Amino acid sequence: MSRYTFSILARDPGTAARRGRITTPHGTVETPAFMPVGTAATVKAMTPEEVAGLGFEMILGNTYHLTLRPGEEVIRGLGGLHRFMNWPRGILTDSGGYQVLSLADRRAITEDGVMFRSHLDGSLLNMTPERSVDIQAALGSDIAMAFDDCPALPSDRPRLVQAVARTTAWARRCRDRYLHDGRALFGIVQGGDDPELRAQSAAAITAMGFEGHAIGGVSVGESAARSRDVVRMTAPLLPEGQARYLMGMGTPGDLVAMIGLGIDLFDCVLPTRNARNGSLFTSTGRLQIKRAEYKDDPAPVDEACACTTCRSYSRAYLRHLFMAGEILGFRLNTLHNLHQYAAVVRDARAAIEAGAFGSFQERFLARWQDAAPHDAARAGAEDRPPVADPEIG
Amino acid sequence: MSRYTFSILARDPGTAARRGRITTPHGTVETPAFMPVGTAATVKAMTPEEVAGLGFEMILGNTYHLTLRPGEEVIRGLGGLHRFMNWPRGILTDSGGYQVLSLADRRAITEDGVMFRSHLDGSLLNMTPERSVDIQAALGSDIAMAFDDCPALPSDRPRLVQAVARTTAWARRCRDRYLHDGRALFGIVQGGDDPELRAQSAAAITAMGFEGHAIGGVSVGESAARSRDVVRMTAPLLPEGQARYLMGMGTPGDLVAMIGLGIDLFDCVLPTRNARNGSLFTSTGRLQIKRAEYKDDPAPVDEACACTTCRSYSRAYLRHLFMAGEILGFRLNTLHNLHQYAAVVRDARAAIEAGAFGSFQERFLARWQDAAPHDAARAGAEDRPPVADPEIG
């Protein structure tokens, strides 16, 4: 069984982009990589075989959701999360820190940790840094995340200062508690959109000996441009030889921009959640499948796409399935969106290997016309229920 | 392109069971066969590749639902229903007659036909025999069904008499209108649970030169035993050399019993709808996956089952997916239930070929313990919306 390692295979000469490789007890992950979100031990609407078939080597699971249902002891008893969900490749687990933000009306923060009132049955869940990494250990995560305090943006400076202090204290408690046994624990840098606080958080977190680092607190209410500013100021503060994970972002355009800033790992609910809402990513932007113009359109979603959905089904059929609330529609849309994301990081890796990421990025962003508003979808978890039977007029 | 034919390959010496083969413009169908229900141009939760991979050679589509959404002219314009939904094998279309029953509060019957008020938007749909077969022709159905008047059971005798008269008149109008072009049109026998009316209906319908015949008006409120009585009295009245289709039934036990009475074709929503409700068929009966006893059960649904679900996933995982309302749960449950149905008819065909259907039937029915109440699920269509996100306490 391999231990966690990260190595850089190539660097782009014109940007900060890197081509790397993570090894884990469950195989390798070629980076830059995108991780589909599998909040509740399933990438919504997909089988593990389909996710692997699209080329993904690591997915994200969620501590808060899995401890509430079915419970980490159930999963441990059944051989761990990999075996439970029949996914033999890598798993990174979010620590529950994001739910401090996304479930803000259901929790109380103290210096010790966060008391949640379960969104399922109202029961109390006392999530501390120790409890978070214990759960992640029970799940058998390949990359566990430290428990952090993730404020929304905008937040006033005292709140951002408080979050940095808590995140630092909690990171140390996670580091002290976690017996990683060849697995990795990543620290998370907070600091909002304040350069000074980001620098302060990065200095504190990177001094603790984590195996890798994440930039947290982005895509939490700020504009896409502001998110990029935060990454631009933070990424260079993280150790060059370790993996850098940008939590909860973003669109294909965001990914390409952030890879150029030196990010190695991404996760986001956008491809899966948008698929269930009928919003499909193409090589140039997005397509809303419910639009009346597609009613009898025999063309595939994207002529340039090689996915099963585009090879076998028309826009008209996908529109029909969506309007009828059919499960197959959620499946085919999800397959397509995830294929798009897989293609973006695969193309980015090839461009870095060729030493031509700069021109790849320029071409990509020139054709990427994303008319959609900035997505409030940082989300290390798909906290909202699946839109499995939408009411559409 | 093949024309419709039906041939009997073998007869069981001890029962009325037959082993046959249907040819259609879209391939052959080995009988006895079960047709998964694909009401709205999709077998709910499945891809066509999965349905074919399970061994099914024909599915059922629905005239009423497809004319309302997306409309038969949209489907015709996109190359017909096979191409629209990417299903290259056989399609039988229900005529809309079943919706006369299932949507009884949304329609008015006259001698000319049935006026429906759309369950989608309240618009009016005037379904006549002519319109029904015109829609089915536009869809490109391999086996179209005559438009019938299908009363619930119990119904008083005047209502049953009226339904037989209307079904006869409408069958003639369908026969006169339909240009089948190598495709088949089946007549439907009504008559409720009255032997005299069944005989009268069978005599009238079988005199019209249909390519095959269906027994309608079963599983419409009566007990399972009464359903079998109706089939027992009706099947022998249908031409021996033509296919006999029992509409809207039933459990695996029902199928095995009815094959012994000489039925060749079945459809039913039970495997797909029950899957979405967490009711799983096994070789001996049913299993309710939501039960607390399965919370940490590492066993597959059915040790004797070779389906992908049983080979890869535990009861505990399937229970978790069901409790969380996850789409993957609906998929894996549906795959399992359809596999069970495919296995039943495959085993029955082999038993008939071996001249041993009687002992097969005896063994099957001896171990089949179906504790569930009789299912009100005759249903040539999945009229109710999918239970895609159940609220479970």
Asked whether the CA dihedral B225, B230, B247, B154 is positive or negative, the reply is negative
Do the strands B18-24 and B265-267 form a parallel or antiparallel pair, or are they unpaired?
Answer: unpaired
Confidence class for position B41, pLDDT limits 50, 70, 90: very high
Using alpha carbons only, give the angle B89, B90, B96 rounded to the nearest 5 degrees.
Answer: 140
CA-CA distances (angstroms) from residue A371 to A205, A294, A376, A379, B6? 37, 18, 15, 21, 56
Q: Does B385 touch chain A (CB under 8 A)?
A: yes
* Tokens linked to A386: 């699946």
* Tokens linked to B295: 């919370």
Look at A317 and B85 and tell me if their CB atoms are within 8 Å: yes
Is residue B260 predicted with pLDDT exceeding 90? Answer: yes
A-B contacts (CB, under 8 Å): 122
Phi and psi (nearest 5°) for A18?
-130, 150
Nearest to B77 among A84, A296, A330 (CB): A296
Q: Does A314 touch chain B (CB under 8 A)?
A: yes
Is residue A359 predicted with pLDDT exceeding 70? Answer: yes
Is residue A391 predicted with pLDDT exceeding 80? Answer: no
Nearest to B326 among A42, A312, A328 (CB): A42
Residues of A in contact with B315 (CB under 8 A): none
Is residue B389 predicted with pLDDT exceeding 90? Answer: no
Strand ranges for A40-195 from DSSP E: 58-62, 90-94, 107-109, 114-117, 124-127, 143-145, 184-189
Look at B317 and A388 and tell me if their CB atoms are within 8 Å: no
Do the strands A114-117 and A124-127 form a parallel or antiparallel pair, or are they unpaired?
Answer: antiparallel
Look at A78 and B40 and tell me if their CB atoms are within 8 Å: no
Asked whether the CA dihedral A351, A355, A357, A363 is positive or negative, the reply is negative
Q: How far is CA B20 from the centre of its chain?
A: 18
Q: Does B384 touch chain A (CB under 8 A)?
A: no
Look at B295 and A328 and tell me if their CB atoms are within 8 Å: no
CA-nearest residue to B79 within chain A is A298
Residues of A in contact with B324 (CB under 8 A): 40, 42, 69
On whether the CB atoms of residues A94 and A58 are closer than 8 A, the answer is no
Is residue A262 predicted with pLDDT exceeding 50? Answer: yes
* Tokens linked to A368: 């990427």
Percent above pLDDT 90 for chain B: 89
* Tokens linked to A287: 């397509």
On whether the CB atoms of residues B271 and B337 are closer than 8 A, the answer is yes
Burial tier of B313 (Cβ tally within 10 Å: 0-12, 13-18, 19+): buried
pLDDT in tens, B168-193: 999 999 999 998 788 999 999 999 99
On whether the CB atoms of residues B153 and B226 are closer than 8 A, the answer is yes
Using alpha carbons only, give the angle A2, A205, A90 rounded to the nearest 5 degrees.
Answer: 25
Nearest to A134 by CA among A91, A46, A71: A71
If you average pLDDT over residues B188-201, what whole number do you get? Answer: 98
Residues of A in contact with B386 (CB under 8 A): 325-327, 388-389
Is residue A186 predicted with pLDDT exceeding 60? Answer: yes
Could you give the ipTM of this predicted complex? 0.95
Taking the C-alpha atoms of residue A308 and residue A286, their distance in angstroms, rounded to an integer, is 18
Looking at B194, B254, B267, B375, which residue is catalytic? B267
Tokens 């099963």 locate to: A308
Taking the C-alpha atoms of residue A28 and residue A37, their distance in angstroms, rounded to an integer, is 18
Residue-averaged pLDDT of chain B:
93
Taking the C-alpha atoms of residue A61 and residue A63, their distance in angstroms, rounded to an integer, is 7
Nearest to B328 among A42, A314, A321 (CB): A42
Is residue A365 predicted with pLDDT exceeding 60? Answer: yes
What's the whole-model pTM score? 0.95
pLDDT in tens, B211-234: 999 999 999 999 999 999 999 999
Confidence class for position B2, pLDDT limits 50, 70, 90: confident
| Among A110-124, A152-166, B342-356, B358-372, the least confident range | B358-372
If you average pLDDT over residues B259-268, what whole number do you get? Answer: 98
On whether the CB atoms of residues B262 and B29 are closer than 8 A, the answer is no
Beta bridge mates, A143:
A92, A184
Confidence class for position B370, pLDDT limits 50, 70, 90: confident
Confidence class for position A389, pLDDT limits 50, 70, 90: very low
Q: How far is B45 from chain A (nearest CA, A)?
A: 5
Q: How far is A25 from chain B (nearest CA, A)?
A: 21
Report the catalytic residues of A: 94, 267
Look at B40 and A326 and tell me if their CB atoms are within 8 Å: yes
On whether the CB atoms of residues A327 and B326 are closer than 8 A, the answer is no
Taking the C-alpha atoms of residue A128 and residue B232, their distance in angstroms, rounded to an integer, is 67
Confidence class for position A101, pLDDT limits 50, 70, 90: confident
Is residue A10 predicted with pLDDT exceeding 90? Answer: yes
Look at B69 and A324 and tell me if their CB atoms are within 8 Å: yes
A:51-90 residues touching chain B, CB 8 A cutoff: 69-70, 74, 77-79, 84-86
A:280-309 residues touching chain B, CB 8 A cutoff: 295-296, 298
Look at A331 and B330 and tell me if their CB atoms are within 8 Å: no
Taking the C-alpha atoms of residue A42 and residue B327, their distance in angstroms, rounded to an integer, is 9
Residues of B in contact with A295 (CB under 8 A): 70, 74
Confidence class for position B141, pLDDT limits 50, 70, 90: very high
If you average pLDDT over residues A132-150, what whole number do you get? Answer: 97
DSSP A116-133: EE-TTT--EEEE-HHHHH
Determine which of B78, B320, B321, B338 to mutate to test the interface with A (most A C-beta atoms within 10 Å).
Answer: B320
CA-nearest residue to B70 within chain A is A320
Look at A40 and B326 and tell me if their CB atoms are within 8 Å: yes
Residue-averaged pLDDT of chain A:
93
* Tokens linked to B365: 């029915």
If you average pLDDT over residues B204-214, what whole number do you get? Answer: 98
Is residue B386 predicted with pLDDT exceeding 60? Answer: no
If you average pLDDT over residues B183-207, what whole number do you get? Answer: 98
Percent above pLDDT 70 for chain B: 94
* Tokens linked to B192: 């409720």
Question: CB under 8 Å to B270, separation ≥6 — which residues?
Answer: B250, B251, B337, B375, B377
3-state helix, strand, coil in chain B (%, to 5): 40, 20, 40
Nearest to A262 by CA among A212, A327, A207: A212
Beta bridge mates, B144:
B93, B185
Confidence class for position B378, pLDDT limits 50, 70, 90: very low
Determine if residue B45 is left, alpha or beta; phi over 0 gives left, psi from -120 to 50 gives alpha, anything else beta: left
| Among A165-179, A322-336, A359-373, the least confident range | A359-373
Is residue B19 predicted with pLDDT exceeding 70? Answer: yes
Q: How far is A75 from chain B (nearest CA, A)?
A: 8
